[in-house]
Amino acid sequence: MIFVTGGAGFIGSNFVLDWLAQCGEPVVTIDSLTYAGNLENLASLSGDARHLFVKGDIADTALIASLLATHQPRAVLNFAAESHVDRSIHGPEDFIQTNIVGTFRLLEAVRSYWGGLPADAKAAFRFLHVSTDEVYGSLAKDEPAFLETHRYEPNSPYSASKAASDHLVRAYHHTYGLPVLTTNCSNNYGPYHFPEKLIPLMIVNALAGKPLPVYGDGLQIRDWLYVKDHCSAIRRVLEAGTPGEVYNIGGWNEKPNLDIVHTVCALLDEMRPRPDGNPYAAQISYVKDRPGHDRRYAIDASKIERELGWKPAETFETGIRKTVAWYLAHPDWVAHVQSGAYKVWTARQYEHIPHDPATQPARATA
C-alpha cells in the first residue's frame, strides 16, 4: 500500500493511473480538491478495489495520522502543491499554506507514524517529495543546466514556497533520519493538465477561437517532460533511490515558449483545421510579460540516468502529438474543468488581450 497526496491533480492523477496499470499495488489517494484537483481524472478507477480516494488536506494532521495508522503504507508520495506561478503572484498566501505549512504538517504526521513502525518496515519506508526545477532560479542562455547541487535561487512566491518545502524535507532526513527522496522536475505536459498552463491553454483557446496569449517576446526557454515519463522516473526513484538524495528529472527538451505555441498550432492545423482555413497561429497575441518571469530553466538529468538507469521514453515530438490528440479526444473533460472560477481567473489574467484575434495578425506571425 502506498499513499499519494495531491493525487487528483495533473501529475498526481497520472501517477496513480500509471502506478495501478504498471504494478497494481493498492493506493490511497488524498486530495483537497481545490480548483486544479479533479476527480474526473480518476474516473476510470471507480469501483477498483485497489484504489481508495479520501478528500482531505495535507495540513490536517489528525486526518493524515488516522489514515496512516489505518492503512499502514510503505511509502508516502507528496504531489500536493499549489503550482501556478501567475496565481502565486496574485495570491501568495495559499502557496505558503499548502506548500510550506502543509508539507511541514505532513512531515510531522509521517515522522510520528514512521517512528512507530517495526524495524524492518521502518527501514523499508520512504517519503518521496515531488518538487520543481524552479527552485533553482533562472539561467542565462549559455549557462550549464541545473544539477542537483545547484544553489537555490527561487524568484516567485511559488518557487520560494517549493524551495522551503524542499528544505524541510531535507531537514527531516538529517535531523530525524526520516528516509526521504526528493525529485525536481522540469515543465510537465500531457493528459489531464489544467488549462491555465501553457500547452493546454493554447489547445483550449485555439479550438475556442480565442487569442493565444504569449508573454513578452515568447523566448523564455523551458525543458519539457512528458508526464508519463515523469511518472516512470518517480517509480524508479521510489524503487531504487538512495534516502536523502535529490534526483533531477527532465526531458532533455529545451525549447522557447513561442516554439511550443507554434508546434501546438501546427498540430491543430493538421488534426483539427479551422473551418475558415486560416492557421491557428493567426490567433497568437503577445501580452505584457509577468513580473519576475524567469528566462530559462534547464534540467541536467544525467544523475538519474547514471545511478538509476532512467531516461525519458518520449521525444517532445512524440509527446506533444499524443497530448494534442488527447485533448481533441476528451472535449467533455475540458468543458467540465472550465468552471466559472476558471473563467474568472483567465479573464483577470489576460484581460488586456483583444477579443478579436484578427486584429493582430502581423504580431501573431512575427
Q: Where are the beta strands (DSSP E) in 22-123?
A: 27-31, 51-55, 75-78
Q: Which of 215-219, 221-225, 272-276 has the lowest mean pLDDT?
A: 215-219
Q: Which of 28-42, 161-175, 190-204, 330-344 has the lowest mean pLDDT?
A: 330-344
Q: How far apart are CA 176 and CA 115, in angstroms?
A: 9
Query: Using one digit for the tens of pLDDT, what is the confidence trace for 10-36?
Result: 999 999 999 999 999 999 999 998 867
Would you place residue 38 in the very low, low, confident or very high pLDDT band (cuts 50, 70, 90)? confident
Please indicate whether residue 158 is annotated as part of the active site: yes
Other CB atoms within 10 A of residue 50 CB: 12
Please indicate whether residue 133 is annotated as part of the active site: yes
pLDDT value of residue 3 = 98
Q: Which of 91-95, 157-161, 182-186, 338-342 has the lowest mean pLDDT?
A: 338-342
Domain residue extents for the chain:
2-194+224-249
pLDDT value of residue 362 = 29
Residue tagged active-site, from 82, 134, 148, 254: 134
Query: Which of 317, 176, 312, 318 is CA-nearest to residue 251?
Result: 312
pLDDT value of residue 47 = 93
Q: How far apart are CA 15 and CA 235, in angstroms?
A: 9
Mean pLDDT computed over 246-263: 97
Residue tagged active-site, from 133, 148, 166, 300: 133
Mean pLDDT computed over 310-316: 97
Give the residue with greater pLDDT, 274 vs 352.
Answer: 274
169 has pLDDT over 80: yes
C-alpha cell at 113: 507514524
Which listed CATH number (3.40.50.10860, 3.10.129.10, 3.90.1150.10, 3.40.50.720) goes with 2-194+224-249? 3.40.50.720
Return all residues near 199 (Cβ < 8 A) that are at least 6 apart.
Answer: 189, 193, 260, 264, 320, 323
Query: Using one digit for the tens of pLDDT, what is the confidence trace for 52-73?
Result: 999 999 999 999 999 999 999 9
364 has pLDDT over 80: no
Residue tagged active-site, from 113, 136, 158, 247: 158
Burial of 341: CB neighbours in 10 Å, binned 0-12, 13-18, 19+:
exposed
